[in-house]
Copies of this chain bind each other. A is one copy, B any other.
């Protein structure tokens, strides 16, 4: 059994790693850390993890075969650095190693990058779109939950060269995406029975979406613009888990059949693209986030608004699983040469 260390098990992503790893046949949690909760039993902080006989430590104790960091950005890079330098394979769930350009990081995260020399070693861990790099790397940056949902939704169309780079991503997320920090607007009395938009001046996941779309953008002929121009609007939903992203882009003329046939064509294109992926499924009816709750699945519903010749793709996933801890374990599996589905094949908890 692989010995796993989790840095900052006390956030939602960290606790979700512990939940999922309990059923992993080849890995076992050896040590977990937390900041404010160090010294307490894991089962006392999280009664649903009573299956573990672990105490939360201030630092990773003893030797481990693999490390996950679920710390917030900046703190995470600092905590990851010694393991990376020591050659311990690691997935960082924070944003620290996602943006390849430290200047962009500084602009969006409010400070110089804590370990810029490590950036070149890092692979962007959207396994389905970047598998070779993930497998070849010992430092993988787990995607943000919103980028995960947007990039899986857009990748087949982008790579096929059928959409304009004028893209709108309208995302709806449950409140667990905001973490366990205290905030009045996350109280049930405020967030319940209510919907709101936020971060309209720019959300930190925007540069990540733009970077990855740009990377996968195919070479284009002259008058067409080659850089994605993305508006991304996140919304807070009155629920705990789940992200639904609705993605819009104009179709280049002549790429798809006319009229209703376009819908079938786009669905075929997506099905082909993800044919071998165990965790991405193209569905025939608009999906609901609940269909993925607790599971590592991403469901995609691509269609065409035939009145306006626009691509519309709806994606749903569980922000704590496919959008965080599940994706991280999928990355671990890929990095270690294990089947990617190990520990991740439970159906969603529905209803």
Give the interface of A toward B (CB within 8 A): 12, 15, 18-19, 22-23, 46-51, 166, 168, 170, 172, 174-176, 180, 182-184, 186-198, 200-202, 206, 229-231, 233, 235, 237-242, 244, 246, 248, 250, 281, 283, 286-295, 297, 299, 301, 303, 305, 307-308, 310, 312, 314, 316, 345-351
Contact = CB atoms under 8 A, between A and B. Distances in A.
B244 A231 contact: no
Contact of A351 (B190, B286, B295): B190
A294 B291 contact: no
A283 B200 CA distance: 13
A241 B351 contact: yes
A169 to B, nearest CB: 10
Given A246-B170, A248-B231, A308-B230, A290 B190 contact: yes
Given A47-B283, A230-B308, A240 B314 contact: no
B22 A347 contact: yes
Contacts of A180: 184, 187, 189
In the A-B complex, list the 10 residue pairs whose CB atoms are closest, starting with the nearest: A194-B290, A48-B348, A196-B288, A48-B350, A182-B182, A170-B170, A294-B349, A188-B188, A188-B191, A47-B291
Contact of A195 (B188, B190, B242): B242
A214 to B, nearest CB: 14
Contacts of A186: 187-189
A192 B200 contact: no
A316 B193 CA distance: 13
B347 A346 contact: no
Contacts of A242: 193-195
A164 to B, nearest CB: 10
Nearest to A178: B189
B50 A281 contact: yes
Given A186-B187, A195-B239, A346 B22 contact: yes
A231 B248 CA distance: 9
Contacts of A350: 15, 19, 46-48
A146 B118 CA distance: 49
A168 to B, nearest CB: 5
A170 B305 CA distance: 13
26 contacts: A47-B283, A47-B291, A48-B291, A48-B350, A50-B281, A170-B170, A180-B189, A182-B187, A186-B188, A187-B188, A188-B188, A192-B193, A192-B238, A193-B193, A193-B241, A193-B293, A194-B239, A194-B293, A195-B288, A196-B244, A197-B244, A197-B286, A202-B307, A229-B307, A231-B305, A294-B294
